[in-house]
């Protein structure tokens, strides 16, 4: 017999042996009833001023769980709103342009500056005539020339101011002001959300599992201030041993026996981890200690299972290999 034929025979024997082991493996797995966990965190590090519920209490969606002190957040919001109003008023001012009264005032200032220029020029002409007649010194003429130059500069400044008012605000300035106004409004919206989140509310119907902080305590920012359990159909958490992993997929049917409850419940696998973990403490046996297992969640499909308490031990029997596997003797 050739080496290739011998290898094929050995491989077939190993495969058959593994398949037989998988069929004989007990598919009754221990687990616990679980509910989806919801953590509400502290928006900021502020004292707790109200605890509206007690641990173990059922609450409806939107119910107040607890409140943090809103004093600082309210002051910040008031300041942001004032800044937003100022930015909005500035934008409105630039958009509307100068008032007619401001334009008239600038025009009057230009006329006054022109009068001063004309008067300084007349005085300069008179001083020059006196210099020719040797009645005043040339120094006085220089001083008067300086006065003429200063009056002319003032007139140009007044003319430029009037022209700016008549032409209106530049589009770039309006865009900058509009951006500043939008930024202020966004800041107000952000602070409004932060203030709202200082009141922790249940996102859905749930059971209050834990309230880690007491009235008056100041939890750190982002710390969980309430732990809720979703008040909907629970699920079962088990660990599937490695020899069964290949036969268990999402949708695999299961039968669940709950400690202290008569009868059994139907279910199906909704999730199985792709990463192996060591066998948990409640699954340790002499045979299973060295085996890896895969975290698995099994949905309960019977409506009668809705009120099962969380944490209750169960035994899950998976249907693998086309039929429900029976426990070994």
Q: What is the CATH number of domain 23-35+232-324?
A: 2.40.30.170
- How would residue 36 be classed by pLDDT, with cut points 50, 70 and 90? very high
Q: Can you name the CATH fold of 39-69+196-230?
A: OB fold (Dihydrolipoamide Acetyltransferase, E2P) (2.40.50)
Sequence-ordered strand ranges (E) for 138-215: 199-201, 206-210
pTM of the model: 0.62
Give yes or no for a contact between 314 and 296, defined as CB atoms under 8 angstroms apart: no
Q: How far apart are CA 138 and CA 108, in angstroms?
A: 34
Q: How far apart are CA 255 and CA 257, in angstroms?
A: 7
Range with the lowest mean pLDDT among 46-55, 104-113, 264-273?
A: 104-113
Q: How far apart are CA 41 and CA 39, in angstroms?
A: 6
pLDDT digits (tens, 9 = 90+) for 205-259: 999 999 999 999 999 999 999 999 999 999 999 998 888 888 999 999 999 999 8
pLDDT at 264 over 80: yes
Which single residue is written with the structure tokens 């008179």? 126
pLDDT digits (tens, 9 = 90+) for 201-213: 999 999 999 999 9
Q: What average pLDDT does the segment 149-177 reach?
A: 77
Of the chain, the percentage scoring pLDDT greater than 70 comes to 80
pLDDT at 50 over 70: yes
Q: What average pLDDT does the segment 184-204 reach?
A: 95
Going by C-alpha positions, the residue among 291, 290, 312 that lies closest to residue 240 is 291
Provide the mean pLDDT of the chain.
81
Better-scored residue on pLDDT, 288 or 170: 170
The domain ranges of the chain are 23-35+232-324, 39-69+196-230, 76-190
CB atoms within 10 A of CB 103: 14
């Amino acid at each position: 017999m050739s080496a290739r034929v011998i290898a094929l025979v050995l491989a077939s024997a190993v495969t058959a042996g593994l398949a037989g082991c998988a069929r004989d493996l007990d598919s009754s797995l221990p687990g616990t009833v679980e509910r989806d966990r919801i953590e509400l965190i502290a928006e900021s590090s502020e004292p707790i001023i109200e605890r509206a519920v007690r641990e173990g209490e059922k609450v409806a969606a939107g119910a107040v769980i607890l409140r943090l002190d809103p004093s600082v957040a309210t002051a910040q919001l008031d300041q942001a709103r004032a800044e937003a109003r100022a930015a909005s008023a500035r934008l409105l001012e630039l958009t509307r342009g100068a008032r007619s009264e401001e334009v008239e005032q600038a025009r009057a200032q230009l006329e006054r500056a022109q009068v001063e220029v004309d008067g300084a020029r007349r005085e300069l002409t008179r001083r020059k005539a006196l210099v020719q007649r040797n009645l005043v010194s040339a120094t006085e003429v220089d001083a008067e020339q300086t006065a003429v130059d200063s009056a002319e500069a003032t007139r140009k400044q007044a003319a430029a101011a009037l022209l700016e008012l008549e032409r209106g605000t530049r589009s770039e300035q309006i865009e900058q002001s509009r951006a500043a106004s939008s930024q202020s409004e966004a800041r107000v919206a952000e602070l409004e959300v932060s203030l709202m989140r200082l009141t922790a509310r249940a996102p859905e119907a749930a059971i209050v599992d834990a309230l880690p902080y007491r009235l008056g305590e100041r939890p750190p920012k982002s710390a969980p201030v309430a732990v809720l359990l979703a008040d909907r159909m629970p699920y079962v958490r088990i660990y599937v041993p490695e020899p069964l992993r290949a036969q268990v997929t999402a949708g695999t049917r299961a039968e669940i026996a709950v400690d202290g409850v008569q009868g059994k419940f139907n279910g199906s696998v909704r999730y199985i981890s792709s990463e192996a973990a060591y066998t948990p403490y409640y699954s340790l046996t002499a045979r299973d200690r060295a085996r890896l297992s895969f975290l698995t969640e099994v949905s309960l499909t019977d409506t009668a299972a809705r009120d099962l308490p969380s944490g209750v031990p169960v035994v899950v029997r998976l249907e693998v290999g086309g039929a429900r596997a029976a426990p070994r003797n």
